[in-house]
Structure 1
Amino acid sequence: MSELKLALKLLYRDGRSGELTILVLALIIAVTSSTAIALFADRLQQTMGRQAADFLAADMVISSSSPIPTNWQSKAAELQLKQSSTTEFSSVLMENEAL
């Protein structure tokens, strides 16, 4: 029992001297930084997983400023290929170099 009292006295004395405070602050900083790094790595992995899923969704992409010819679309339907089309609009429309 006297060893426990001595340990508590020494702990109290170290706490008052400031050495224990520095040790506790260093421990808090270490735990916080490792937790932040782990969370950042997890979030990065999730983002990369989502982007990989987007890339794997299509084996081939055809991009053109004109519509896809109908014979291509019918051939894709014959081969039972899944198709989708998107239309993108510019934020500023120009014609003959004028707004």
Structure 2
Amino acid sequence: MPISREFWTWAVATAVIAVLVVFVGPSIIGPESILGSKNVLTTAKMIPLPVDGPESLDWDPRGEGPYVGVTDGRILKWRGSDLGWVEFAYSSPHRFV
């Protein structure tokens, strides 16, 4: 039994669509490239932390920080190169969860 012309039409159309999705799809749904984005880590600055941790890292809504939670329950805030890390808050060992 010969393969029908309709089958070949669908097979070729499916193959063409698959090739288009592979080559064009990423440029349609992918994020835009950001100029210089690959060079960000070369300018990163190491901030020494005199404790074990950090266990967490966060900034406040005003963009201050970073704040880090460390293993002994303290929360430290980075105050810049001149002041370094300062104790911002601490977790009480007597708190109830």
Question: TM-score under structure 1 normalisation?
Answer: 0.32
TM-score (norm 2): 0.33
Structure with the bigger percentage of helix: 1
* Larger RCO (CA under 8 A, 6+ residues apart): 2
Bigger strand fraction: 2
